[in-house]
Structure 1
Amino acid sequence: MIAIDAMMVCLDLSDIDEKLVAFTRSICERLQVGKVYFVHNVKVAELSDDFRELFGNMDLATEVEGNINDIVTEHFGNATAYEVLVGEEPNTEVMLAELVKRYHIKLALLGKKMSDKSTGALGTKLLQVLPCSVLVFPETASASIHKALLPLDFSATSVHALRLSQNLATQLGLQLEILHVYRLPTQYFPLISEEKAVKKAEEIVKERFATLQRKHQETAGVPYTLVRAANKSVAERIRLHLGKGKYDLLVLGLKGSNPLPSLRFGSVPKEIYNMDLPIPLWLVYSEEVIR
């Protein structure tokens, strides 16, 4: 069973905040969530001179907290225990990372605007520094989730994401499917037949799936699809597959063995995050990785 002791919702005082709060409510109604922290950081140092001249020494943090409380009251209600936290720190990423550690946050919810409205730079930084799993909710996404896709590469990271996805599917009654994108060693063509190479690659992958299902019997009934990357990146193949299956959620495992955040994040999750996907993206760290 998935139990989220503490969850952090990152708000930016834009139109997407109401959607994030409403989506948080739907999560709390369907999963066991202990407490939710609605968080915003006011960068006082970046306020313009015009703002200071117009409003003087106004307690901006208190005003922001009141605004967030109004949104939470309207769109979250009493779904579970919650607290509104407003900071005035120069570095938002550092502040949020510290809150994750202080309150033992298991899941952070981030909103994501389309690329024509935002560069997504802050979100990319947060994904690299937050020591917890992250659920990204695009502004065009729906809170209704019925079908989930898990790309699997057989790493320990993706197997952990598979277990979480299976538990999620069981608890919420979701339809779960697995996708594996494979590549062929094209440097050996035409020394070997491409047809034979494809056949051999798929045989190997199917055997790996069989081994995985024997080891994790709860996954035995989950359907999977094999897709060749060919002239596309793995992330692009995943995006194309999403367009065919009418999925409502994408789950990806995150690696954590590299001490450099830019490498730890991984190229596939980063590329997918930067795409304008219309569905939520759950980026999963295992407890071992976080420790």
Structure 2
Amino acid sequence: MIAIDSMMVCLDLSDIDEKLVAFTRSICGRLQVGKVYFVHNIKVYELSEDFREWFGDVDLAGEVEGNIHDIVSEQFGNAADYEVLVSEEPNTEVILADLVKRYKVKLTLLGKKTSIKSTGALGTKLLHILPCSVLVFPETATFKIEKVLVPIDFSDTSVHALRLSKNLSDQLGLQLEILHVYRLPTQYFPLISEEKAVRKAEEIVKGRFAALQKKHLEISGVPYTLVRAAGKSTAERIRLHLDKGKYDLLVLGLKGNNPLPSLSFGGVPKEIYNMDMHIPLWLVYSEEVIR
């Protein structure tokens, strides 16, 4: 059973905040969540001189906290125990990473605006530094989650994400599917038949799936699809498959191969994060990686 002891929700005082708080309520209604921390950091040094001249020594942190409490009261209610945390630090990423460690946060909910409205630079920094799994909620996403896609590359990281997704799907009655994107050694064409190469590649991958299912019996009944990259990146193929299959959640495992200063975020997850997605993206670290 999946339970979240503590969860952090990052708010930025924009229109997406109400959606994030309401989505958090939806999560608490479906999963066991111990405590939720609604957080915002005020970069005081970014306040203009005009602001200081007009408002003087106003208790900005108190005003922001009151505003967040209003949103939480309206959109979240008493769905779970919660606390509002407002800080005034120059570096948002560092203070949020510190909160994750201090309160042993297992999952952070992060909103994402479309590329027209935002560069997503802060989100990218947070994904590099936060020592916990992250659920990215695009402003165009809905709360309905019924169909889940988990791309895997047979690494321990992706297998962890798959097993976690299977647990989640069983718990909530979701439809789970697996995707694997493979590539052919095109430098050897036309020395070998492309058709023969495809057949051989899929034969090898199916053998790896059979071995994986034998090792982890709980995923033996999960359907999988093999897709050839064929001139596109793995992330692009995943995106095309998402649009075709009408999924509601994408789950990706993250690797932790960079112990200093934090964990590792790159490659396929980074490319997908930078796309304008319309469904939530769950980026999963295993407990072993975080430790």
> CA shift at 1:258, angstroms?
2.5
Trace 1:1-291 onto structure 2 (pairs within 5 A): 1-259=1-259, 264-291=264-291
Q: Deviations over 1:79-110 (max 9, x none)?
A: 01000000000000000000000000000000
What number of residue pairs does the alignment pair up? Answer: 291
Unpaired runs of at least 5, structure 2: none
TM-score (norm 2): 0.99
Unpaired runs of at least 5, structure 1: none
Verify the 8 A CA contact 1:149 1:249 in the aligned structure 2: yes
Question: 2: CA distance between counterparts of 1:171 and 1:101?
Answer: 28
Q: Deviations over 1:88-136 (max 9, x none)?
A: 0000000000000000000000000000000000000000000000000
Verify the 8 A CA contact 1:180 1:227 in the aligned structure 2: yes
Percent identity over the alignment is 83
Look up the equivalent residue of 2:278 and give its one-letter code.
P
TM-score (norm 1): 0.99
Question: 1: CA distance between counterparts of 2:258 and 2:49?
Answer: 42
Question: 1: CA distance between counterparts of 2:72 and 2:60?
Answer: 18
Verify the 8 A CA contact 2:129 2:263 in the aligned structure 1: no
Q: In 2 relative to 1, CA 263–93 (structure 1 residues): closer, same or farther, beyond 3 Å?
A: closer
Q: Deviations over 1:198-256 (max 9, x none)?
A: 00100010010011111111101100000000110000000000011010000000000
SS of residue matched to 2:93? helix
Runs (4+) off by over 3 Å: 259-263
Verify the 8 A CA contact 1:151 1:238 in the aligned structure 2: yes
RMSD: 1.1
SS of residue matched to 2:251? strand
SS of residue matched to 1:131? coil
> CA shift at 1:262, angstroms?
9.5
SS of residue matched to 1:264? coil
Question: 2: CA distance between counterparts of 1:6 and 1:96?
Answer: 14
Question: 1: CA distance between counterparts of 2:88 and 2:262?
Answer: 26
Question: 1: CA distance between counterparts of 2:143 and 2:102?
Answer: 29
> CA shift at 1:261, angstroms?
6.8
Question: 1: CA distance between counterparts of 2:3 and 2:220?
Answer: 23
> CA shift at 1:191, angstroms?
1.4
Question: 1: CA distance between counterparts of 2:262 and 2:60?
Answer: 34
> CA shift at 1:187, angstroms?
1.1
Question: 2: CA distance between counterparts of 1:5 and 1:188?
Answer: 52
> CA shift at 1:189, angstroms?
1.2
